[in-house]
Amino acid sequence: MTDDTDSTEPQGGLPVVRLRPKANARAVRHGFPWVYADELVIDRRTKALAAGSLAVLQDAERGDLGVVTVNPASKIVARMLDPDAGARIDRDWLASRLRRSLALRERLFDGPFYRLVHAEADGLPGVIIDRFGDAAVIQPNAAWADRLLPELAAALTEVTGVTRIVMNGSGRARGLEGLDDRTEVIAGEIGAPIEVPMNGALYLADLTGGQKTGLFYDQRPNHAFTQRLSRGARVLDVFSHVGGFALAALAGGADQATCVDGSAAALALAEGGARAMGAGDRLTTRRGDAFATMEELAAEGQRFDVVICDPPAFAPSKPALEAGLRAYERVARLAAPLVAPGGYLVLCSCSHAADLTAFRSASARGIGRGGRRMQLIHTGFAGPDHPILPQLAETGYLKALFFRLDG
């Protein structure tokens, strides 16, 4: 439904967009960063705004709410950038946000390997930046960031000193914004995969051809907890990508680890990481569909002291929730019989649509259907370089459940 009246005349150089009378302006004032399409007056001028345009958001009762970016083609029609309606969104503004993000990471980590920007939680809606030493990967998943990518890259170099930058424009989020799918090097040169030290392990990150930004920093604390369980253990890492849990387990003293993934390229990077850290003889890989491979391992009578399953997001949206929970239950059902008595099963979900309670219930059902009794000994989340905006549940997407299995 649209309103055919025109928006308020431009103010301070920016057009003005208005919330509908029944929209929850209080939520926006209290930090909720999004305005949905049915909450905004969509008049002729608003519809004519190019995706990623800047505007001043107003509430009919109390006036200006701040500067927003507008995308008339998106369900999230406006994203809050700055509660100061007079803010100038330019390279200096971007650099200020990046300095704030960098200050937190430099306090948390000894080396420059971390998620530098976690979208709305770091005040840069839709923007992901992962840092790999003197290189960085930017995911501009919102139209405004795509439009301001040159300024964002310049500010990133100014603030951090990185000399090599990759723009990764792949993924579901960009499609929802009406953006194209492309990946390109926009500064410097990227050759071989980059070595990334983390939790005593050494990973190889392919910044141009790997999945997402090339490495999943979010699992860092869960890798560390897994190390505690893996001393002297035989470990199975299913949906392993570049060996996130397996290499951490080997660094923590595991006797042997096996990676299962469908990507030959990812498994090759896992093998390269193991060799680089002097553990190549303790890592094996098995390429194939994860579900089918778990069934094959069970049929072979294989048992492991620690089994980790870190699948892709099975429930990336609310419409996919029911099917996604069934998939998580199936993962748990197939993985549980592979765990030796008294061993440990780690189940992960990166689906923001599946909250912790729903994921935990699906996992417990699957373990029970797999014929095992369980203790939940630990619940893990993303590391502090993936801060959560309390008003936005989507920023707290990662869950990791650590079970001890008997029977």
**CA dihedral (5, 9, 11, 14) positive or negative:** positive
Report the distance separating Cα 262 and Cα 330, nearest Å: 18
> Of the listed 259, 309, 348, 350, which one is catalytic?
350
Please report how many Cα atoms fall inside a 13 Å half-sphere around the Cα of residue 298, on the Cβ side: 15
DSSP β-bridge partners for residue 235: 257, 306
Report the distance separating Cα 313 and Cα 315, nearest Å: 5
**CA distance readout (Å), 151 to 93, 245, 338:** 10, 36, 50
Decide: helix, strand or coil at residue 308.
strand
How many degrees, rounded to 5, is the angle at CA 323 between CA 317 and CA 325? 85
The distance of Cα 368 from the centroid of its chain, to the nearest Å, equals 29
Which tokens sit at 193?
């995969």
Q: What are phi and psi of 387, to 5 degrees?
A: -60, 155
Burial status of residue 137 (CB atoms within 10 A of its CB: 0-12, 13-18, 19 or more): buried
Decide: helix, strand or coil at residue 114.
strand
Report the distance separating Cα 268 and Cα 72, nearest Å: 43
* Of 210, 93, 98, 100, nearest in space to 161 by CA: 98
Which tokens sit at 143?
């139209």
Length of the chain: 407
> Is residue 350 annotated as part of the catalytic site, yes or no?
yes
Question: Roughly how many angstroms between the first and final C-alpha of the chain, as a whole number?
Answer: 58
How many other C-beta atoms are found inside a 10 Å radius of the C-beta of residue 211?
18
DSSP label of 38: G
Q: Report the run of H or E that residue 227 belongs to, with start and end.
A: helix 220-229
- Catalogue the active-site residues: 350
